[in-house]
């Protein structure tokens, strides 16, 4: 059977669709070089003043570092919890499996603002009992992000487990392995890619989380998305365009690096 090759019309439509989707991102690039103190297209003169602001301003550094730390911790905890839950469902197969999975998926299903309000009241109450992990704290943000990203990690891990033949686990148990040994030495290595994918997805979702973060933080735990939101809401700071371009470049570098790595392995 011959390989299907798209015609010129299909290629043209694909290019136009891609340009339409990329247009907002492309518009940010020239705005990041504006010499003005507000978001506006440059008029003849280009400036790096807003990139210099990102480089020199300690507030931006603190927000970036906080988002990185929150993302690393939240994604690791979320992946651990998602793996434990998914393995439990895979092993036990309880009668209420669908109900339990649905309960875990609630943060994914309900509108983010509903989750944000619930977490706000929970963090406010938690701040009275344990101020270090409550409202407007690092651990408060971590806990809230874990709640929001666990459902996505559960989906990825459960899909990976669905590809595992249960007979390999039965064979390991038949050879004397305990359930913990079978999980650690047989099951988990076979879903390693799924675990990595779950962790990466959880990190990305935590990195860009803004709806819940706006409700549970104030002045002490300002993540990068919140700082960007503040820059747009308070004074339309062009540094927002500069940091957006930096993030776009990093994303493109990661994607292209992944493509090149995959091509070199063929």
Count of domains for the chain:
2
Residue 183 is part of a domain; what is its CATH number? 1.10.3720.10
Same domain flag for 82 and 206: yes
In a domain, 28, yes or no: no
Per cent of the chain over pLDDT 90 is 31
Give 140's pLDDT tier (boundaries 50, 70, 90): very high
Same domain flag for 157 and 256: no
Q: State the Cα–Cα distance between residues 233 and 76, nearest whole angstrom.
A: 32
Same domain flag for 162 and 240: no
pLDDT at site 235: 64
Same domain flag for 138 and 206: yes
Same domain flag for 164 and 245: no
* Chain segment 176-186, per-residue pLDDT in tens: 888 888 888 88
* Chain segment 202-256, per-residue pLDDT in tens: 999 999 999 899 999 888 889 999 988 887 776 677 888 888 888 888 888 888 8
Same domain flag for 208 and 247: no
Q: State the Cα–Cα distance between residues 44 and 194, nearest whole angstrom.
A: 50
For residues 4 and 198, which has the higher predicted lDDT (pLDDT)? 198
Mean pLDDT along residues 86-102: 86
pLDDT at site 3: 66
188: number of Cβ within 10 Å: 14
In a domain, 105, yes or no: yes
Residues of the domain holding 263: 236-266
Same domain flag for 216 and 248: no
8 Å CB contact between 189 and 83 = no
Residues 6+ apart with CB under 8 A from 232: 240
Same domain flag for 162 and 212: yes
pLDDT at site 74: 95
Mean pLDDT along residues 15-35: 83
Residue 41: phi, psi to the nearest 5? Answer: -65, 140
């Amino acid at each position: 059977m011959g390989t299907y090759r798209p015609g010129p019309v299909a290629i043209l439509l694909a290019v136009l669709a891609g340009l339409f989707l990329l247009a907002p991102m492309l518009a940010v690039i020239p705005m990041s070089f504006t010499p003005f103190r507000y978001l506006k297209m440059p008029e003849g003169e280009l400036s790096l003043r807003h990139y210099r602001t990102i480089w020199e301003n300690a507030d931006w550094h603190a927000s970036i570092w906080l988002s990185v730390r929150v993302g690393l911790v939240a994604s690791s905890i979320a992946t651990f919890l998602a793996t434990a839950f998914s393995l439990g469902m895979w092993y036990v197969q309880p009668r209420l499996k669908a109900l339990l999975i649905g309960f875990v998926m609630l943060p994914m299903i309900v509108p983010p603002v509903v989750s944000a309000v619930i977490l706000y009241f929970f963090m406010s109450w938690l701040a009275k009992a344990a101020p270090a992990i409550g409202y407007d704290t690092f651990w408060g943000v971590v806990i809230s992000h874990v709640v929001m990203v666990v459902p996505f990690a559960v989906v990825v891990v459960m899909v990976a487990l669905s590809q595992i033949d249960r007979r390999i686990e039965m064979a390991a148990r038949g050879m004397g392995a305990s359930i913990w040994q079978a999980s650690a030495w047989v099951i988990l290595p076979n879903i390693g890619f799924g675990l990595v994918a779950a962790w990466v997805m959880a990190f990305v979702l935590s990195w860009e989380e803004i709806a819940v973060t706006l409700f549970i933080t104030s002045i002490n735990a300002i993540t990068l998305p919140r700082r960007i939101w503040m820059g747009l809401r308070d004074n339309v700071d062009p540094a927002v365009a500069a940091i957006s371009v930096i993030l776009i470049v990093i994303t493109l570098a990661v994607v292209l690096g992944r493509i090149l790595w995959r091509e070199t392995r063929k």
